[in-house]
Amino acid sequence: MSAVPAAGRESNPQSTLRFAPAAASAPQEPAQSAHDHETAAYTASERTPATQETTAYAHSAQSAANQESGSADDEQGAPRPPAPRAPGERRPISRQPEESKKRPEFLEIMRSPKARKIGFAVGALFGLGLLGYVADLAMASGEVPRGVVVAGVEIGGMDKSAADARLRAELDGRAGRELPVTIGDVQTTLVPGSAGLSVDWDGTWDRIGGQPLNPITRVTSLFGTETVEVDTAVDEQALGATLDGLRVHDRPTVEGTIVFENAQPVAVAPVPGRVLDAAAARDVLVHNWVAGTPMNLPVVPAPVAVRQDAIDQALQQIAQPAVSAPVIFDGKGGKAQLVPEQIATIVSFAPDGNGGLTPRIDQKVATDLLAPQLKQSEVEPKDATFTLTGGKPTVVPSVVGDKINWQKTLEPLATLLAAPAPQRTAPAVYEKVEPKLTTEAAAGLGIVEPMGEFTTGGFSGPSGVNIRTVARKVNGAVVKPGETFSLNEFTGPRGTAEGYVESGIIDHGRPSKAVGGGISQFATTLYNAAYFAGLEDTGHTEHSYYISRYPAAREATVFDGAIDLSFRNNTANGIYIEASANNSEVTVRIWGTKTVEVESITGERTKPTKPKTITLPKGEGCIATEGADGFTVSDTRVITDIATGREVSRTTRTVKYDPIPIVKCE
């Protein structure tokens, strides 16, 4: 017979359905009423899945019990429904055995007096612990957590204000103290504050934090310490500069190589180096400086680039054969050689990037040693020029040069240095060098007659020396059509090495002396010759003070490397400059093909200005002068075409001359 749970009892996974013993003599219960079926259905619908599963298992067990007791099934095997109950009939309720009504064993244990005492004790202990935790947390409010140590300073359990004061007293001074550091095998010091390191107090207190809430942490803090790292404020620029300064203690790598001592090759063994690891050193300093204890800064090895075996190989196969005998170059009518002592100055060795050594030859030094030995065998190229024969210019033929090409000559030098003595000779390579102005080109320049000339005088002594020197330099210059002539560029430096001497000049209105004085007179003469030849003025500067031997507003001064005189050949033909000077006069004549006439119109002197008086102490540095008035004047150049008579151009230039001071020596 199936057991039905009591109506209204909530079924749960811990409940177990109880069954009456299966026996043939057991009285049958009366059939359930409609109300009973509804209650059973409602109860079944409220069961949890686990309860329903248990109930299904119970029905299955009951079916098996019925079969064993001889209950009959219909032909299809379906269970027989219970017999109908007569009106007023009450069927006996199935009672479970007494043993099934017993409580679970653990519940019985918990209800024992001993268990209840233990429970009360545990509860009391928990309550006391909770009260102690709350009291400890309240009492520690405003204090540093227990056991905290910052940079060796114990502040655990202290009032935060007192702890802050103690920390500052202990740590503030450390930024200004010298900190010993070791870099490899070098010991030195640095000052953290100067290196941009200081305590970040806000960050440090953030690291320390507040009271821990975890009760286990609070208990363990009674028996240990917690080290808190100082938070560091970093001035990256200052720290970077300090680390860069520490690089003086790096040990640079000694690269293996070969050097020559007294023309003998010597092997230099490679020695690895070591350098400061700046990034790692930064981290070490930032995290450990405040401790104030000596520290090692990280270094990294600096490996060598050349192997020892490669050095030995280069010594035996390249260096030693190179200086074993002279190297000879055969020239036209002579020889040039490099002896072992000279070879040692042109051969060097460098890493090849693969662990070996590669030889290098300084060809410039080799050329400087060899070229003078064969200089007499060379022919310098010469441009065609002109000479005056019977008052007319004639062409002086050009000369084709025959020069040694030293770059090509030295191409086999590396092979020669590795060869034995009988095979260490090679020919010098000569090449033809054409002149810039050939004979044919000069003949076609149309230089046939004077175009313009000018003469100045009134010089003597040192000025005359300089004027004659520059005249010889410029004489014979040829300017092709479209080219520009520059006096400074053509003559080059004008110093004592070039034959110039000290002579008189005008310096800020006062007489003075300088090397090259007097050349401005040659410049004025050249300017006027070009002026009357109708050439284009491309740059000139007048004197600041008027000099009476020069035409007003039509003169020029020059200064080596600063003030220049230049003009352009704007004709269709070439020009030839003839310059000559004697003891008192200098003349410049420009030859070419004359196509224009030039007229100079000098204006009236206007706007006169009186000189100032300067008084200087007597002596060699004082030269007395009477001075002169300043004024303004203009010059107009009118150019007319000879063939047509048409005016080609009219150009006016106005010049203001300063007054020459009156100098008194007293």
User: Would 652 be classed as within a structural domain?
Assistant: yes
The DSSP call for residue 459 is -
Tell me what the mean pLDDT of segment 501-513 comes to: 73
| Angle in degrees, CA 525, 529, 531, rounded to 5 | 115
On the question of pLDDT at 551 being above 60, the answer is yes
pLDDT at 87: 52
**459: Cβ contacts below 8 Å, ≥ 6 apart:** 467, 518, 521, 584, 586
Residue 578 has pLDDT above 80, yes or no: yes
Main-chain dihedrals φ then ψ at residue 434, nearest 5 degrees: -75, 145
The backbone torsions φ and ψ at residue 105, rounded to the nearest 5 degrees and listed phi first, read -60, -40
| Cβ contact 174:192 at 8 Å | yes
118 and 161 fall within a common domain = no
Rg of the chain (C-alpha set): 59
* 104 pLDDT tier (thresholds 50, 70, 90): low
- The per-residue pLDDT for 110 is 61
The rounded distance, in Å, linking the Cα atoms of 228 and 212 is: 14
**Tokens standing for residue 130:** 């909770």
Which pLDDT value is given to residue 543?
94
Query: What pLDDT is stored for residue 53 in this prediction?
Result: 42
268, 295, 326 - which closes a domain: 268
> Both tokens of residue 14?
């811990």
What is the rounded (10 degree) CA torsion for 452, 455, 461, 466? -10
| Shared domain check, 385 and 347 | yes
- Scan for tokens 């059939």, then name that residue: 31
Do 122 and 157 share a domain, yes or no?
no
> Among residues of the chain, what percentage have pLDDT more than 90?
61
- What confidence tier does 508 reach under pLDDT thresholds 50, 70, 90? low
Distance of CA 94 to the CA centre of its chain: 101
How many other CB atoms are found less than 10 A from the CB of residue 236? 9
Q: Are residues 119 and 94 in the same domain?
A: no
Q: What Å distances lie between residue 12 and 4, 39, 53, 62, 105, CA to CA?
A: 14, 17, 11, 21, 19
Q: Does 304 fall in a domain? A: no
Q: Hey, what are 13's tokens?
A: 């996974």
Beta bridge partners of 586: 456, 581
Quick one: average pLDDT of 449-453? 97
- The DSSP-derived string for 145-192 is PTTEEETTEE-TTSBHHHHHHHHHHHHGGGGGS-EEEEETTEEEEE-T
Better pLDDT: 237 or 137: 237
Higher pLDDT: 221 or 318? It is 318
Structure tokens at 446: 């149309």
476 lies in the same domain as 402:
no
Taking alpha carbons only, the member of 245, 244, 238 closest to residue 195 is 238
Return the number of other C-beta atoms located less than 10 Å from residue 249's C-beta: 19
CA angle 393, 396, 399 (to 5 degrees): 160
35 vs 403, more confident: 403
166 found inside a domain: yes
Q: Which DSSP category does 435 fall into?
A: -
Please check whether residues 403 and 485 belong to one and the same domain.
Answer: no
What CA–CA distance (Å, rounded) separates 453 from 588?
6
> Of 484, 473, 466, 381, which Cα lies nearest the Cα of 431?
381
Which domain does 589 fall in, by range? 450-665
pTM of the model: 0.57
Sign of the C-alpha dihedral computed for residues 498, 503, 506 and 508 taken in this order: positive
Single-letter amino acid, residue 133: Y
Structure token digits, residue 425: 């000779």
pLDDT at 102: 55
Same domain, 489 and 406: no
Supply the mean pLDDT for the chain.
83
The reply to whether 22 and 55 lie within a common domain is yes
Cα–Cα–Cα angle for 367, 368, 372, nearest 5°?
Answer: 100
In the predicted structure, residue 51 carries a pLDDT above the cut 80: no
Q: Give me the pLDDT at residue 40, please.
A: 41
CA 317 to CA 322: how far, in whole Å? 9
Strand partners, 150: 153, 228
302 assigned to some structural domain: no
Q: Which of 75-89, 404-418, 425-439, 575-589 has the lowest mean pLDDT?
A: 75-89
With bands split at pLDDT 50, 70 and 90, how would you rate the model's confidence at 560?
Answer: confident
b/e sequence 341-352, b meaning 16+ C-beta within 10 Å: ebbbebbbbebe
Alpha-carbon dihedral sign for residues 461, 466, 471, 472 = positive
pLDDT score at 463: 93
Do 539 and 640 belong together in one domain? Answer: yes
DSSP structure string for 47-60: S-HHHHHHHHHHHH
Same domain, 231 and 317: no
Q: What is the mean pLDDT of residues 26-42?
A: 43
Question: How many domains are contained in the chain?
Answer: 5
Is 291 domain-assigned?
A: no
Which one of 383, 415, 439 terminates a domain? Answer: 439
| Among 462-471, 493-502, 614-623, the least confident range | 614-623
Q: What is the pLDDT of residue 503?
A: 85
Would you tell me how many other CB atoms lie within 10 Å of the CB of residue 380? 11
Give Cα separations from 435 to 226, 379, 380, 438, 486 (angstroms). 92, 11, 9, 6, 21
Question: Is 90 exceeded by the pLDDT of residue 477?
Answer: yes
Determine the Cα angle at 425 with ends 422 and 430, to 5°.
Answer: 165
Tokens in use for 645? Answer: 């008579």
For 217, the 3-state DSSP assignment is helix
Structure tokens at 17: 């359905």
322 secondary structure, DSSP code:
H
Judged by average pLDDT, the poorest of 85-94, 136-145, 513-522 is 85-94
Task: Specify the higher pLDDT residue, 83 or 16.
Answer: 83
Residue 309 has a pLDDT of: 96
Q: Are residues 624 and 483 in the same domain?
A: yes
137 has pLDDT over 70: no
Asked if residue 303 belongs to a domain, the reply is: no
pLDDT band for position 90 (50/70/90)?
low
Residue 156 has pLDDT above 60, yes or no: yes
3-state secondary structure (DSSP) of residue 476: coil
Instruction: Yes or no: say if 527 and 565 are a contact pair by the CB < 8 Å rule.
Output: yes
Residue 276 lies in a domain: no
DSSP classification of residue 572: S
pLDDT digits (tens, 9 = 90+) for 225-251: 778 888 899 999 999 999 999 999 999
Quick: pLDDT tens for 376-397. Answer: 999 999 999 999 988 889 999 9
298 Cβ contact list (under 8 Å, min separation 6): 276, 277, 280, 281, 284
Cα separations (Å) of 534 from 183, 422, 531, 591?
78, 67, 5, 12
Q: Report yes or no: 358 and 349 within 8 Å, Cβ to Cβ.
A: yes
Q: What is the pLDDT of residues 278-330, one digit of tens each?
A: 999 999 999 999 988 999 999 999 999 999 999 999 999 999 999 999 999 99
Task: Quote the CA–CA distance of 267 and 650 in Å, as a whole number.
Answer: 78
Question: According to the model, what pLDDT value does residue 103 have?
Answer: 57
Res 624: pLDDT: 86
- Is position 201 within any domain? yes
In this prediction, residue 209 carries a pLDDT of 76
Residues 93 and 182 in one domain: no
**What value, to the nearest 5°, has the Cα angle with vertex 564 and ends 562 and 569?**
155
User: What is residue 36's predicted lDDT score, i.e. its pLDDT?
Assistant: 46
Strand pairing partners for 536?
Answer: 568
Lowest mean pLDDT among 149-153, 332-336, 430-434, 461-465: 149-153
Q: What is the pLDDT of residues 585-640, one digit of tens each?
A: 999 999 999 999 999 999 999 999 999 998 888 887 788 888 899 999 999 999 99
**How much is the pLDDT for 222?**
56
Poorest-pLDDT segment among 47-56, 132-141, 267-276, 542-551: 47-56
User: CA 427, CA 434: separation in Å to the nearest integer?
Assistant: 22
pLDDT of 59 strictly over 60: no
Amino acid at 416: L
